[in-house]
């Protein structure tokens, strides 16, 4: 693996509320290199977006408590976006790191033309008048596959379909050739057919710009298409982190196993029901002692001394490059995979 571009270390984001401290993401560490795609997977509220917004410096520092580091290894030295001054981080946004959001319907300003909005992003870091900005915007629209770019650049967001708007978002995020792209559920609001087009586009753009990509999603189908490595998040923590094949063929955490079992598959035996993960994720205000997944885990009883209830498992490297936060032994996990049919 090449030198990572982004190195997140022990990142914790919590929000003080009237009911108590919400630990939205808890001691998160991961890296992602240029040309690599890291997928961050987890259900709603598992802390995926909160983590990425913290990397981008988009949390309101008055309402969020953030600790840990998110180091960007830039050409002229590393910068930690968590501790760096607000203005320094702002000048990294759009240029060194860019982000696209879930809902392209609401993420574009309804009152400005597409060209205006892309040109605005470009002119922030480039010398050029508005005309040059619009020209650049047209090129970008062309690049992301919007037909008739020269005409459409003068149109408003409401004149675009959802998939086209997400293309516009991608064009806008990439206009300054960023080294890191964070895509926060970029396909969730789109039709399935459009989804795969957008994923294809993201893949091509990654090659074109040699970017590090963090893809946040709850859709393991999306992950399989584009990711190199996967981090599975649960209740604010990373519970498993591995290469794409390991995640699908050798899941090492009961939660990942559960997620994989809940995906409908073409080769599934007829009449077999999907296996859902029982229960609800715990409240992030008062996490239970021990493993957060314990109450929903059907294998917790196999761990001796009720260890799951008393000790938080560490994120251990089980096999090379494959980390998992579980008290079960590799042998037990293997059985678990077989018993639920998660292993192919």
Return residues touching another protein (CB under 8 A): 56, 58, 90-95, 98-99, 101, 103, 106-111, 113, 120-121, 124-125, 156, 158, 169, 172-173
**Measured from the CB of residue 161, what is the shortest distance to another protein in angstroms?**
15
Distance CA 80, CA 199 (A): 29
Any bridge partners for residue 216, and if so which?
A: 40, 184
- Determine which helix (DSSP H) or strand (DSSP E) holds 184, and give its type and residue range: strand 180-184
Answer for the pair 4, 214: CB distance below 8 angstroms, yes or no.
Answer: no
Of 13 and 169, CB closest to another protein: 169
The first and second tokens of residue 100, run together, are 């696209």
Distance CA 109, CA 122 (A): 16
**Measured from the CB of residue 62, what is the shortest distance to another protein in angstroms?**
10
**Measured from the CB of residue 152, what is the shortest distance to another protein in angstroms?**
14
**Measured from the CB of residue 238, what is the shortest distance to another protein in angstroms?**
24
**Measured from the CB of residue 158, what is the shortest distance to another protein in angstroms?**
5
Of 205 and 308, CB closest to another protein: 205
Answer for the pair 256, 263: CB distance below 8 angstroms, yes or no.
Answer: no
Of 114 and 230, CB closest to another protein: 114
Of 84 and 124, CB closest to another protein: 124
Of 109 and 151, CB closest to another protein: 109
Nearest-Å Rg of the Cα atoms of the chain is 21
Of 94 and 281, CB closest to another protein: 94
Distance CA 134, CA 111 (A): 16
**Measured from the CB of residue 340, what is the shortest distance to another protein in angstroms?**
38
**Measured from the CB of residue 99, what is the shortest distance to another protein in angstroms?**
5
Of 125 and 249, CB closest to another protein: 125
Long-range contacts of 293-301 (CB under 8 A, 24+ apart): 293/234, 293/235, 293/239, 293/253, 293/254, 293/255, 296/255, 296/258, 297/254, 297/255, 298/254, 299/254, 299/328, 299/332, 299/336
Distance CA 172, CA 240 (A): 32
């Amino acid at each position: 693996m090449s030198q990572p571009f982004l190195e997140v270390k022990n990142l914790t984001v919590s929000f003080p509320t009237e009911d108590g401290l919400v630990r939205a993401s808890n001691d998160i560490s991961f890296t992602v290199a240029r040309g690599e795609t890291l997928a961050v997977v987890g259900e709603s509220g598992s802390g995926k977006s909160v983590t990425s917004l913290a990397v981008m410096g988009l949390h309101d520092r008055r309402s969020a408590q953030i600790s840990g580091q998110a180091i960007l290894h830039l050409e002229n030295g590393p910068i930690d976006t968590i501790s760096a001054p607000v203005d320094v981080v702002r000048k990294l946004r759009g240029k060194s790191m860019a982000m696209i959001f879930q809902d392209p319907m609401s993420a574009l300003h309804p009152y400005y033309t597409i060209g205006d909005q892309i040109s605005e992003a470009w002119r922030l870091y480039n010398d050029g008048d508005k005309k040059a900005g619009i020209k650049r915007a047209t090129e970008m629209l062309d690049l992301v596959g919007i037909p008739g770019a020269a005409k459409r650049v003068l149109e408003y967001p409401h004149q675009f379909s959802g998939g086209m708007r997400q293309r516009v978002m991608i064009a806008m995020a990439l206009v300054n050739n960023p080294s890191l792209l964070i895509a926060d559920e970029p396909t969730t609001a789109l039709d399935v057919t459009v989804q795969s087009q957008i994923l294809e586009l993201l893949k091509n753009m990654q090659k074109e710009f040699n970017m590090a990509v963090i893809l946040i999603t709850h859709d393991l189908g999306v992950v399989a298409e584009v990711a190199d490595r996967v981090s599975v998040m649960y209740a604010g923590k990373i519970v498993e982190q591995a290469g794409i094949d390991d995640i699908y063929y050798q899941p090492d955490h009961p939660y990942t196993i559960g997620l994989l079992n809940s995906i409908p598959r073409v080769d599934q035996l007829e009449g077999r029901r999907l296996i859902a993960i029982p229960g609800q994720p715990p409240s992030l205000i008062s996490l239970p002692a021990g493993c957060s997944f314990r109450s929903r885990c059907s294998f917790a009883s196999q761990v001796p001394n009720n260890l799951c209830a008393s000790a938080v498992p560490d994120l251990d490297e089980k096999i090379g490059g494959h980390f998992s936060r579980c008290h079960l032994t590799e042998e037990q996990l293997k059985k678990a995979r077989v018993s639920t049919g998660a292993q192919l």
